[in-house]
Chains A and B, each alone.
Chain A
Amino acid sequence: DAMVIQNPRYQVTQFGKPVTLSCSQTLNHNVMYWYQQKSSQAPKLLFHYYDKDFNNEADTPDNFQSRRPNTSFCFLDIRSPGLGDAAMYLCATSRGDIPSSYEQYFGPGTRLTVT
């Protein structure tokens, strides 16, 4: 089945120790998104890639970076995690044309704990 896969599902890192979360998709979608979701809150968009074009949200901290080496994979790098970065990180994909781009397919998420 076509899907969005996130690894690992649970990640524990130490304060200040860089961490990378990964996302892969078999949907061949143009757009890949990274969201941060804290407990009982709506997902907050961090950035997205439209093909190779990177689009950062204005309020995304510099501590968060992303890489998309090919269509299928996208990575979220947190350079120096703080306690406030503990959250669920969701990857999503969509086709690139409007309105299909609004129909986003989400992965199961990675729960990040910072100790």
Chain B
Amino acid sequence: AQSVTQPDIHITVSEGASLELRCNYSYGATPYLFWYVQSPGQGLQLLLKYFSGDTLVQGIKGFEAEFKRSQSSFNLRKPSVHWSDAAEYFCAVGAREYGNKLVFGAGTILRVKS
């Protein structure tokens, strides 16, 4: 069965430090990859997406992610975290064989300490 794994449930980083959130997926073909962010009590906001082409994609709020086919990974990075980045981050995958549906990872809660 398809799966999306975010191995870190919680991550705490200091403000100004770099950040990497991990995401692995299990699909045979190249999937369509997304990162969403959710602030408390809010809906999900799309940070970035990968469909094809350059494997390093830039998103909003200074985030980037890199698709590594050999590792089935799509990790999210930010060089310098701001206190306002504290939120929950979801990796999501779409694949043609599953129709219109997105499959979400369990999420990673980011805490930022000053």
Q: Which range contains the number of B residues in contact with the other chain?
A: 20 to 34
Whether A45 contacts B101 in the complex (CB less than 8 A), given A40-B107, A99-B94, A103-B34, comes out as: yes
Stretch at the interface among B16-24, B45-53, B62-70: B45-53
Q: In the complex, which of the residues B49, B96, B102 has the most CB atoms of chain A within 10 Å of its own CB atom?
A: B102
Smallest Cβ distance from A55 to chain B, in angstroms? Answer: 8
Smallest Cβ distance from B50 to chain A, in angstroms? Answer: 10
Q: In the complex, which of the residues A48, A99, A102 has the most CB atoms of chain B within 10 Å of its own CB atom?
A: A102
Indicate which residue in B34, B45, B88, B90 contacts A102 across the interface (CB closer than 8 Å): B34
Q: A45 CA to B34 CA in the complex, in Å?
A: 16
Whether A43 contacts B104 in the complex (CB less than 8 A), given A101-B94, A102-B94, comes out as: yes
Q: Mark B77-114, 1 if CB is under 8 A from A, else 0.
A: 00000000000101010101000111011110100000
Q: Is A107 an interface residue (CB 8 A)?
A: yes
Q: A109 CA to B38 CA in the complex, in Å?
A: 11
Q: Is A70 an interface residue (CB 8 A)?
A: no
Indicate which residue in B41, B100, B105 contacts A109 across the interface (CB closer than 8 Å): B41
Smallest Cβ distance from A101 to chain B, in angstroms? Answer: 4
Q: Are B102 and A104 in contact (CB under 8 A)?
A: yes
Smallest Cβ distance from B23 to chain A, in angstroms? Answer: 12
A55 proximity list for chain B (CB < 8 A) = 100
Indicate which residue in A40, A41, A45, A106 contacts B43 across the interface (CB closer than 8 Å): A106
Q: Mark A74-109, 1 if CB is under 8 A from B, else 0.
A: 000000000000001010101010110111111111
Q: Are A98 and B96 in contact (CB under 8 A)?
A: yes
Can you list 19 contacts pairing A with B, beta carbon distance less than 8 Å? A40-B88, A40-B109, A42-B90, A42-B106, A45-B102, A48-B101, A50-B100, A92-B44, A96-B100, A99-B51, A102-B32, A102-B94, A102-B102, A103-B49, A104-B46, A104-B102, A106-B43, A106-B45, A109-B43
Known A-B contacts: A92-B43, A99-B32. Give 5 more (CB < 8 A): A48-B100, A50-B100, A94-B100, A98-B96, A103-B49
